[in-house]
Chains A and B, each alone.
Chain A
């Protein structure tokens, strides 16, 4: 990304002891990393924690940053790893049912007030179905679909961030979309029944 001071220069400044430089990197990327974490984890609280941990890990490993890679790719890799680690921990603790209920309630409050109760209920149901469908995808497929749909990254950027070939990105995305369609169809069938 061409900016007045690009991300790579910012990292150099941070490495040379400029305390504001890393703060600037955080400001630039926090929204995108949060979006990625939200798509991967499905909960706002978890997404915030994962975003925080991502930047913390990035700061700790600043010296490990390779100059030949882009800062964005590097941050995305860290974020994806943070999300995977977090999900593993959550699985071990068995955190699912209670969280789903809390997230559903949060979605009700987030809806606009002029939406009719029937419509809002349908919208919530639909959002919940999409969320569940995305979260049910295998990790490798979910990463790609979230990066594409939530962050609107290009195939090339996704390939660089995940260090996989461009054709793999496309094939994974295709598979992910097919699986999502199947899951959402199940939801539609259940609703119709």
Chain B
């Protein structure tokens, strides 16, 4: 390197530095480039400064081992920033975890219980929704009867039928048939259901009553406890 003390100094020293680091505009660079061709002092200094710059760069690379190029650093910074934003977006779970860490034990327990309750309710709701719809009892216009009403209706029907039969027999041959003694009153607790068995004067059993009811188009009682039968509208006795 040439001794700087011996070198002439140009008045465009600042322009030289600007040109050396490439910071001027294109016009500045062209202008100083043409000056450099004519000025020995600037040309020599430019060459010497370039060597110094290279030496420092070697030292820097050895020492730091990484580039600090502004473009690379800017890209890295932008990437870091994006990463930071992503971390912030994902930190909701971390915040929840932090909340649990700092909250007292009773609060943690209450939160856990509430979560469990919510889960159970959810399961119940899902089960109810997914179950097949239950057939609801069909409501008809037919009237329903209790045990007593049924028996009364049956007895009434039996009496009516018996009277009709008697009337028919009387009409067919009233002279040949001896006059019968008046029939004792019907015991309604012992229901006589069949008109054919009526002359035998004994009370009907349960099966016979059921048969009679079927004959009279009455619905059979399924269970003794819930006897809800239907009768045709015209057969309903008004009590």
* Chain A residues within CB distance 8 Å of chain B: 1, 3-5, 20, 24, 27-28, 31-32, 34-35, 38-39, 44, 107, 110-111, 123, 126-127, 129-131, 134, 145, 148-155, 167, 170-171, 173-174, 177-178, 180-182, 184-185, 188
B68 at the interface (CB under 8 A from A): yes
- Partner among B21, B48, B62 whose Cβ is within 8 Å of the Cβ of A127: B62
**Are A127 and B23 in contact, with the CB atoms below 8 A?**
no
B73 at the interface (CB under 8 A from A): yes
**Are A4 and B81 in contact, with the CB atoms below 8 A?**
yes
> Complex formed: what's the CA distance from A33 to B65 in Å?
15
- Partner among A3, A39, A180 whose Cβ is within 8 Å of the Cβ of B77: A3
Asked whether A27 and B80 contact (CB < 8 A) given A152-B69, A185-B1, the answer is yes
**Are A20 and B77 in contact, with the CB atoms below 8 A?**
no
**Are B1 and A5 in contact, with the CB atoms below 8 A?**
no
Asked whether A35 and B64 contact (CB < 8 A) given A130-B59, A170-B17, the answer is yes
B60 at the interface (CB under 8 A from A): yes
Q: Which of B3, B14, B78, B87 has the most CB of A within 10 A?
A: B14
Sample (5) of A-B pairs whose CB atoms are under 8 Å apart:
A39-B60, A110-B62, A127-B62, A150-B64, A170-B13
**Are B56 and A173 in contact, with the CB atoms below 8 A?**
no
Interface residue range, chain B? 35 or more
> Complex formed: what's the CA distance from A152 to B16 in Å?
17
**Are B4 and A178 in contact, with the CB atoms below 8 A?**
yes
**Chain A residues within an 8 Å CB radius of B1:** 181, 184-185, 188
**Chain A residues within an 8 Å CB radius of B21:** 148, 155
**Least Cβ–Cβ distance between B32 and chain A, in angstroms:** 13
Asked whether A150 and B68 contact (CB < 8 A) given A4-B81, A20-B84, A170-B17, the answer is yes
Q: Which of B1, B56, B68 has the most CB of A within 10 A?
A: B56
**Are A181 and B77 in contact, with the CB atoms below 8 A?**
no
User: Which label, helix, strand, loop or mixed, suits the secondary structure of the A interface?
Assistant: helix
**Least Cβ–Cβ distance between A95 and chain B, in angstroms:** 19
What 9 A-B pairs have minimum CB-CB distances, sorted nearest first? A170-B14, A130-B59, A3-B81, A4-B81, A149-B56, A185-B1, A127-B59, A174-B13, A130-B55
- Partner among B14, B48, B63, B77 whose Cβ is within 8 Å of the Cβ of A28: B77
**Least Cβ–Cβ distance between A75 and chain B, in angstroms:** 13
Q: A170-B14, A188-B1 are in contact. List 19 more A-B contacts (CB 8 A).
A: A4-B84, A5-B85, A24-B80, A31-B66, A35-B68, A38-B63, A123-B58, A134-B56, A149-B56, A149-B57, A150-B68, A152-B69, A171-B13, A174-B14, A174-B17, A177-B49, A181-B49, A184-B51, A184-B52
**Chain A residues within an 8 Å CB radius of B66:** 31
B196 at the interface (CB under 8 A from A): no
**Chain B residues within an 8 Å CB radius of A31:** 66, 68, 73
Which of chain B's residues 155-213 have a Cβ closer than 8 Å to chain A?
Answer: none
B70 at the interface (CB under 8 A from A): yes
B82 at the interface (CB under 8 A from A): yes
**Chain B residues within an 8 Å CB radius of A4:** 78, 81-82, 84-85
**Are A5 and B3 in contact, with the CB atoms below 8 A?**
no
**Are A184 and B23 in contact, with the CB atoms below 8 A?**
no
